[in-house]
Amino acid sequence: MDTAGGFYFLEMTTRLQVEHPVTEEITGLDLVELMIRVAAGEPLPFTQKEIEQAGWAVEARVYAEDPARNFLPSIGRLVRYRPPSGDGIRLDTGVFEGAEISVYYDPLIAKLVAYGPDRGTAIDRLRGALDDFYIAGVQHNIPFLAAVAASSRFRAGALSTNFITEEFPGGFAPPAGFVEPDRTILLAAALAHRRIRERETAIDGQLARAGGAIGERSIVLLDGRSYPFSLRPKGDAYCVEIEGESRLASTDWQPGQVLLRVWVDDHVATVQIERLPGAAFRLAHGGVIRRAQVLSPRAAELRALMPKKQAADTTRLLLSPMPGMLSSVVVEQGQEVKAGEPLAIVEAMKMENVLRAARDGRIAHIRANPGDSLAVDQVILEFE
């Protein structure tokens, strides 16, 4: 669009667009059927003036890609695949649990569409559906989509092509501070821990004193930050107090389930939950992912005294940022390279990705050969 308000077409793509379900939802038309009928020589059964639009629809494209790695593609098998459903929810997909996302095709998993009588309702339904959409086996962009749908700027429609760089200037990562979804995540961690302890103490045939009482007061470590809480049963629910705020909450979650639903004041929220080593959880809600660990006050005191494991130094290594095939290595052992010079080319998802030197140096060893299939973070070469 120019400064005078004139519109000009850069191109016209005369095919079905990937966003066509949005048009179908607000018009009630089946665009695929209409295209087939037109191709068979039939005329369109309506005029432009007869087309009516009602309500709002929004589509989220669920991809096998890693938002934390600048949206690089991911491959692998869908070990778990639990798509959402509900009022106004439509899912267009061609995958299923056990299907494989390969390096040879576009990594689109599904198109999740939410419809409502107005924009706010459509977005609310989309947010709920994203929380309910569970995928394991590949990296995916559901948390990123949920974070976008939760932002006030998106809800207001104040969008531009700079939206991602402005809203996530350091890349997509868990918020550094406490945010609103953390309230639900804390509650989910406390309830999950309680349900597991109830299961453990209910086991028959235990040795004397093996079960022990369930402590009322505990500590939730949320990404290492400490939040004291108390929890006690009250009828079919639990009275949970976290940082002075008391809430009556209930859940039907059982250990092993991947979705934990929390009811608070007639409101239901869904948290994705995975158990991790060390009696910890991986919890995701509203686009926020946290590692949570529930400890007794004494265990939390002792944990604070434990030395922290240092991350391995990988500055001397060139790692594959994505799964794919090593197309070529354009340097040799002993060669001097400057920052920014190409080192290797990795093919993935029908694209060539040139890996460049992050600093000046000399090539010490080449650890992979052209034609090799690479995993994420596999070493390609090593600097001196």
What CATH number is associated with residue 71? 3.30.470.20
Contacts of 284 (CB under 8 A, 6+ apart): 131, 143, 271, 272, 290
Among 303, 330, 356, identify where a domain stops: 303
Instruction: Please check whether residue 188 is in contact with residue 262, taking contact to mean a CB–CB distance below 8 angstroms.
Output: yes
Question: For the whole model, what pTM was predicted?
Answer: 0.84
Contacts of 258 (CB under 8 A, 6+ apart): 80, 82, 134, 136, 272, 273, 274
Among 249, 270, 303, identify where a domain stops: 303
96 and 41: one domain? yes
For β-strands 267-276 and 100-101, DSSP reports them as unpaired
191 and 92: one domain? no
Query: Distance between CA 51 and CA 64 in Å, rounded?
Result: 36
Q: Which of 11, 50, 166, 332 is catalytic?
A: 11
Contacts of 52 (CB under 8 A, 6+ apart): 27, 28
Among 257, 279, 303, identify where a domain stops: 303
Half-sphere exposure of 351 (CA within 13 A, CB side): 11
47 and 76: one domain? yes
193 and 274: one domain? yes
Query: Distance between CA 190 and CA 184 in Å, rounded?
Result: 10
159 and 217: one domain? no
- Tens place of pLDDT for every residue, the chain, 384 residues? 899 999 888 887 778 888 999 999 999 999 999 999 999 999 999 999 999 999 999 999 999 999 988 888 888 999 999 999 999 999 999 999 999 998 778 889 999 999 999 999 999 999 999 999 999 999 999 999 999 999 999 999 999 999 999 999 989 998 989 999 999 999 999 999 999 988 888 777 766 655 555 768 899 999 989 999 999 899 889 999 987 888 899 999 999 999 999 999 889 999 999 999 888 999 999 999 999 999 988 988 888 888 888 888 888 999 998 888 899 999 999 999 999 999 999 988 777 889 999 889 999 999 999 999 998 899 999 998
Instruction: Answer yes or no: is 174 within a domain.
Output: no
Instruction: Answer yes or no: is 41 within a domain.
Output: yes
Total Cβ atoms within 10 A of residue 78: 19
Total Cβ atoms within 10 A of residue 163: 14
Residue 227 tokens, joined? 């939040």
Supply the CATH number for residue 294's domain: 3.30.700.30
Active site residue 52: no
Query: Distance between CA 372 and CA 95 in Å, rounded?
Result: 27
261 and 151: one domain? no
Instruction: Answer yes or no: is 207 within a domain.
Output: no
Instruction: Answer yes or no: is 137 within a domain.
Output: yes
Whose tokens are 């086996």? That residue is 137
- The residue type of 88 is G
Q: Report the number of secondary-structure helices (H) and strands (E) in the chain.
A: 8, 25
Instruction: Answer yes or no: is 332 within a domain.
Output: yes
Instruction: Answer yes or no: is 6 within a domain.
Output: no
For 71, which DSSP code?
Answer: T
35 and 93: one domain? yes
295 and 334: one domain? no
Instruction: Please check whether residue 39 is in contact with residue 289, taking contact to mean a CB–CB distance below 8 angstroms.
Output: no
63 and 156: one domain? yes
Residue 212 tokens, joined? 């022990």
Instruction: Answer yes or no: is 175 within a domain.
Output: no
236 and 134: one domain? no
What are the angstrom distances between the C-alpha of 262 and each of 12, 121, 161? 48, 21, 36
Instruction: Answer yes or no: is 8 within a domain.
Output: no
67 and 32: one domain? yes
What's the structural domain count of the chain? 3
94 and 226: one domain? no
Domain membership of residue 361 as a residue range: 317-383
For 105, which DSSP code?
Answer: S
